[in-house]
Structure 1
């Protein structure tokens, strides 16, 4: 559990650094990143089980840029982004 909080702490501060240029893909709205390390209180699902953020326009920077680089990519199994 400590590692999850530490990872989130690091992502909050590194979110202002540039995103790795090798990142490709797009968000699949799986919601997996919104559950790191706990479920975000702003996460909702539509009738098709696709996730959505109820504060999307004002969401935190670490939500906007995830995954920033390969080392911070914790949701590889479900995420639509990948690094070449």
Structure 2
């Protein structure tokens, strides 16, 4: 029950991982965690359907929010990709000192 409450609270405030890809394939396995949802229904073809789809809580809307939360990896249509590491960084700009003649000319004008 603690995990169910934790998932509900994190789904309220935290966004879905940017690396999440895929779509719901209507397997219904996530709706059985940790026990079958009373709103879970199946059609004649065996595909799941939510009876309160438009009113479902955020934990259902965002499942799986992060890769560690995906407990149904074998059947879930969602998957996560690892972002590519940054291969190089842009070097900071290099500032060169002013030419010496410009400094001499500036002192002659003021002196």
TM over 0.5: same fold? Answer: yes
> Which of the two has higher C-alpha Rg?
2
Residues 1:25 and 2:22 are matched in the alignment: yes
2:50 to 53, 59, 65: 53
The runs of at least 4 aligned residues of structure 1 exceeding 6 Å deviation read none
Aligned match of 2:61? 64
RMSD of aligned C-alpha atoms? 0.7
Separation in 1, partners of 2:72, 2:6: 16
Deviation, 1:6, is 2.5
Indicate whether 1:14 and 2:16 are aligned: no
Gaps of 5+ in 1: none
What TM-score, normalized to structure 2?
0.70
How many residue pairs end up in the alignment?
80
Higher relative contact order (CA 8 A, sep 6+): 1
Gaps of 5+ in 2: 82-111
Could you state the TM-score of these two structures normalised by the residue count of structure 1? 0.92
